[in-house]
Amino acid sequence: MERTAALPRPELLQVADTVARDKGIDRDEVLEAMEQAIQKAGRSKYGHEHDIRASIDRKTGEIQLTRCITVAETVENESAQTTLAQAQKKKPDAKIGDVFIDPLPPIDFGRIAAQTAKQVIVQRVRDAERQRQFDEFKGRVAEIVNGLVKRVEFGNVVVDLGRAEALLRRDELIPRETFRTGDRVRAYIFDVRQEPRGPQIFLSRTHPQFMAKLFAQEVPEIYDGIIEIKSVARDPGSRAKIAVVSRDSGIDPVGACVGMRGSRVQAVVAELQGEKIDIIQWSPDPATFIVNALAPAEVAKVVLDEEQNRIEVVVPDDQLSLAIGRRGQNVRLASMLTGWDIDILTEAEESERRQEEFRVRSKMLIEALDIDDVMAHLLITEGFTSVEEVAYVPTEDLTGIEGVDEGTATELQNRARVFLEEQDRQNTERRKALGVADELAAVPGVTSSMQVVLGEKGVKTLDDLADLAGDELIEMVGKDKLTEEDANAIIMAARAHWFADDAGVAKTEGEGHAA
Instruction: Report the pLDDT value the prediction gives residue 351, as an integer from 0 to 100.
Output: 82
Question: Can you state the angle between helices 111-137 and 10-23, rounded to 10 degrees?
Answer: 40
Say if residues 264 and 255 touch (Cβ distance below 8 Å).
no
In this predicted structure, the answer to whether residue 2 has a pLDDT above a threshold of 50 is no
Best mean pLDDT range from 28-32, 106-110, 242-246, 324-328: 242-246
CATH number at residue 496: 1.10.150
Instruction: Report the pLDDT value the prediction gives residue 3, as an integer from 0 to 100.
Output: 41
89, 15: one domain: yes
| Helices assigned H by DSSP within 24-104 | 27-46, 84-90
Q: What letters, b where the CB count within 10 A reaches 16 and e where it falls short, cover 462-499?
A: bebbbebebeebbebbeeeebeeeebbbbbebbbeeee
98, 69: one domain: yes
Instruction: Report the pLDDT value the prediction gives residue 117, as an integer from 0 to 100.
Output: 59
Best mean pLDDT range from 105-114, 378-387, 469-478: 469-478
DSSP conformational letter for 173: S
Instruction: Give every CB contact of residue 340 below 8 A, 6+ residues apart in sequence.
Output: 286, 290, 309, 310, 311
3-state secondary structure of 194: strand
223-252 residue pLDDT tens: 899 999 999 999 998 999 999 999 988 899
Instruction: Report the pLDDT value the prediction gives residue 107, as an integer from 0 to 100.
Output: 67
Name the residue among 201, 195, 25, 37 with its Cα closest to residue 125.
25
Residue 329 to residue 322: CA distance in whole angstroms: 10
In this predicted structure, the answer to whether residue 213 has a pLDDT above a threshold of 90 is yes
20, 96: one domain: yes
121-164 residue pLDDT tens: 677 777 777 777 777 788 888 889 999 999 998 889 999 988 78
On whether residue 345 sits in a domain, the answer given is no
Looking at the 3D structure of the chain, how many domains does it have?
3
pLDDT higher for 7 or 431? 431
pLDDT higher for 95 or 239? 239
15, 122: one domain: yes
- Domain range enclosing 465: 435-515
Put simply, whether the predicted model's pTM sits higher than 0.75 gets the answer no
Question: What secondary structure does DSSP assign to 82-93, as a single string?
Answer: E-HHHHHHH-TT
Instruction: Report the pLDDT value the prediction gives residue 209, as an integer from 0 to 100.
Output: 93
In this predicted structure, the answer to whether residue 482 has a pLDDT above a threshold of 90 is no
Decide which of 132, 167, 186 is a domain's last residue: 132
24, 104: one domain: yes
303-338 residue pLDDT tens: 888 877 889 898 888 888 888 988 899 999 999 999
160-180 residue pLDDT tens: 988 788 899 999 999 888 899
In this predicted structure, the answer to whether residue 4 has a pLDDT above a threshold of 50 is no
171, 115: one domain: no
Confidence of residue 10 (pLDDT cuts 50, 70, 90): low
Beta bridge partners of 160: 148, 165
Q: What is the mean pLDDT of the chain?
A: 82
On whether residue 327 sits in a domain, the answer given is no
On whether residue 314 sits in a domain, the answer given is no
Q: Say how many CA atoms lie within 13 Å of 364 toward its Cβ.
A: 16
Instruction: Report the pLDDT value the prediction gives residue 212, as an integer from 0 to 100.
Output: 93
Say if residues 54 and 64 touch (Cβ distance below 8 Å).
yes
Strands 198-204 vs 165-168: parallel, antiparallel or unpaired: parallel
- Cα–Cα–Cα angle for 154, 160, 163, nearest 5°? 145
On whether residue 403 sits in a domain, the answer given is no
In this predicted structure, the answer to whether residue 35 has a pLDDT above a threshold of 50 is yes
DSSP conformational letter for 244: E
359-370 residue pLDDT tens: 888 888 787 777
In this predicted structure, the answer to whether residue 53 has a pLDDT above a threshold of 90 is no
116, 173: one domain: no
Q: Which of 73-82, 119-128, 341-350, 426-435 has the lowest mean pLDDT?
A: 119-128
Q: Which of 41-45, 179-183, 207-211, 447-451 has the lowest mean pLDDT?
A: 41-45
Instruction: Report the pLDDT value the prediction gives residue 85, as an integer from 0 to 100.
Output: 77
Residue 281 to residue 497: CA distance in whole angstroms: 52
Instruction: Report the pLDDT value the prediction gives residue 500, as an integer from 0 to 100.
Output: 65
149, 65: one domain: no
268-280 residue pLDDT tens: 999 998 999 999 9
Instruction: Report the pLDDT value the prediction gives residue 113, as an integer from 0 to 100.
Output: 52
Instruction: Report the pLDDT value the prediction gives residue 394, as an integer from 0 to 100.
Output: 80
The residue type at 343: D
